[in-house]
Amino acid sequence: MTITVEQIKSIIAGAEETLRLLQNQPEYQAIENNENFITQNELVLADAIQALNEIYQAIEESECDMVNNLPRYQLDT
């Protein structure tokens, strides 16, 4: 199975949107605000959302770099 860059970006964007929806739910906010909610590295859902956003942006930038680095062909006139 192969996957395209567009599919990868779509999956990342979908995961980010899903986490944003979850983050805004009062039920989830109650969990995260509980004093017993502790992660090993003091992470919260916003950190995961930010990480996905940064990965998406890096893919976008690398695509631009790939396009900009394509050889330029001169047409014979």
Domain count of the fold of the chain: 1
Question: Is there a domain that residue 73 lies in?
Answer: no
Residue with tokens 């969990």: 31
* φ, ψ (nearest 5 deg) of residue 21: -60, -45
Question: Is there a domain that residue 9 lies in?
Answer: yes
Structure confidence at residue 4 as a pLDDT band (50, 70, 90):
very high
Whole-number Å distance between alpha carbons of 11 and 8: 5
Q: How confident is the model over 49-59, as pLDDT tens digits?
A: 999 999 999 99
What's the domain range around 44?
A: 5-67
Question: Is there a domain that residue 19 lies in?
Answer: yes
Rounded to two decimals, the pTM is 0.78
Question: Is there a domain that residue 77 lies in?
Answer: no
| Mean pLDDT lowest among 24-33, 34-43, 58-67 | 58-67
Question: Is there a domain that residue 45 lies in?
Answer: yes
